[in-house]
Amino acid sequence: MLEFSVLILIPLIAAAVCYLIKGTRSQYAISLTVSAFHLLFSFIIFIGLYKPNLPFFFSTDPLSKLFLLILSNVYFWVVLISFSYLKRPVTSKAEAGKKYYFLLLNFYLFANTAAILSNHFGMYWVAAEATTLSVAPLIYYYRNEEALEAMWKYLFLVSVGIAFAFIGILFLTLSANGTIMEGQQLFFSEFVKNATKLNPIWLKASFIFIFVGLSTKIGIAPMHSGDVDATSNSPSPIAALMSGSLRITALLGVMRIFQILTPTTSYEFAKLILIIGGLLSVAVAFIFMFKVNNYKRLLAYSSVEHLGIITLGIGVGGLAFAGAMYHVIYNSLNKMVLFFTAGNIHSRFKTREVNGIKSVINLMPWTGWLFLLSFFAISAIPPFGIFFSELMIFEGMLFSNKPWILAVTMFLLLFIFINMGKTLFQMLYGEKSEKAIQEKESFEIIHFSVIVLLILLIAIGTISPGILQENILSISKDFGIRL
């Protein structure tokens, strides 16, 4: 019960405590302590020093261990910089919402951990809906019309998506009719063991509904609009949280049903659906990059692009699948770096419009240079990790039975790189404002966090720790892939 308490119960208790304690500093201390213990315990489980024995509807496997560590890491850094972020001046309406910030963050950790560790489709569905409810009020942090619209749009579209996923789970139960799984609990591991006995028609229908439904949270086109609006209108720590961890919690649900289809005759059908979704996502990001007005929206579409690349890697399979698992790690780190620095820019210039921002490098040297490095990292420039993961994905595409996917993907990514770079360089360089230059930028906890995360991006990519390789090989084997 120790692991259950540390990973699931303590965040829920911390949320309740944050509701009772009104001081922001005390809430921050509690939340940071919980996040540190959660990260430490997740890391110990990941490297195999502790073998968890979770009760009820929870369990661990290589995939959940990886995603749990990613969640814990993203959550820790978001909490670490949040107090500094909350001290920044906002409107009186937004000031009132600060007292619920850490309460909702702890509830978010509880819900996401429960979703990742769940071994039951019903439990996963409930926990996934709880993640939506935890993050929606945080989207409305600024208490303006744009944030209100983004929150309700996100709630509506994701709730419809969750309803689709629920229908998909019902179809999964129908696929078990006439088999030994009929009338049994919806345990994921049992469905994997008996996958070949399931009805392929209902199994395909289940995959379609779950994939389409959860795509509203993952940000897969064409179901991406609610997620993009929510990410671009959220405060930067919450945008980093959504892009770095919430999307992969939803991706986990798709991978669970995909794993069930792996040994069946429906496997190629599922791969085709994933490839179509991945290509559409990269194509949508490609179109948007030609006319960018809002730089936080640009970063949100970058998330759509990279989740599309990950989905493509999973769909192509083989080496591309392993590359996609590495890409999940690097993308989560990179999105934190991008949104943290973007938050500093927004605080200084008080606008999200690209045309209203000039000479960031000169006015904010710490933020400007780190923002530039984060652009290089997300663009797969070596030695940053995304270079290595994309290389694996591209190699997997090249030697697959659909090599044309590589040509299409690289064409789209080329123009995404050119147009994204053009926009960001317009922000980083330009006419100087003499008045603004007099305001010197000081080194903050956000800069420290970004530097550490960039070092991690390089270190993990170049060293490629053996324990990480073993974990990804184990995940690949679970999906029937031998590397």
Give the orientation angle of helix 225-233 with respect to helix 145-175, to 10 degrees: 140
Query: Tokens standing for 409?
Result: 């993907």
Query: Tokens standing for 339?
Result: 């949104």
Spatial separation of the C-alpha atoms in residues 276 and 402, rounded to whole Å: 12
- From the centroid of its chain, how far is CA 419? 23
Q: Which residue has the tokens 């968890």?
A: 52
Coil, strand or helix at 58:
strand
**Predicted TM-score (pTM) of this structure:** 0.95
Spatial separation of the C-alpha atoms in residues 314 and 328, rounded to whole Å: 11
| Residue from 85, 38, 46 nearest 64 by CA | 46
Which amino acid would we find at residue 303?
A: S
Coil, strand or helix at 51:
coil
The C-alpha angle with vertex 54 and arms to 52 and 60, in degrees rounded to 5, equals 65
What are the pLDDT tens digits along the chain (483 aa)?
677 877 899 999 999 999 999 889 999 999 999 999 999 999 999 999 888 888 888 999 999 999 999 999 999 999 999 999 888 877 777 777 788 999 999 999 999 999 999 999 999 999 999 999 999 999 999 888 898 999 999 999 999 999 999 999 999 999 988 888 877 788 998 999 999 999 999 999 999 999 999 999 999 998 988 899 999 999 999 999 999 999 999 999 999 999 999 999 999 999 999 999 999 999 999 999 988 888 999 999 999 999 999 999 999 999 999 999 999 999 999 999 999 999 999 888 888 888 889 889 988 999 999 999 999 999 999 999 999 999 999 999 999 999 999 999 999 999 999 999 999 998 998 776 544 455 678 889 999 999 999 999 999 999 989 999 999 999 999 999 987
Q: Which residue has the tokens 């990804």?
A: 472
- From the centroid of its chain, how far is CA 265? 30
Coil, strand or helix at 219:
coil
Spatial separation of the C-alpha atoms in residues 367 and 345, rounded to whole Å: 7
479-483's contacts with Cβ under 8 Å and 24+ in sequence apart are: 479/258, 479/259, 479/262, 479/317, 479/321, 480/262, 480/263, 481/317, 481/318, 481/321, 481/322, 483/318, 483/319, 483/322
Spatial separation of the C-alpha atoms in residues 297 and 303, rounded to whole Å: 10
φ and ψ of 292, to 5 deg: -110, 125
> How distant, in Å, are the alpha carbons of 114, 173, 269 from that of 122?
12, 11, 25
- The count of C-alpha atoms lying within 13 angstroms of the C-alpha of 105, restricted to the half-sphere facing its C-beta, is 35
169 in Cβ contact with 122 (< 8 Å)? yes
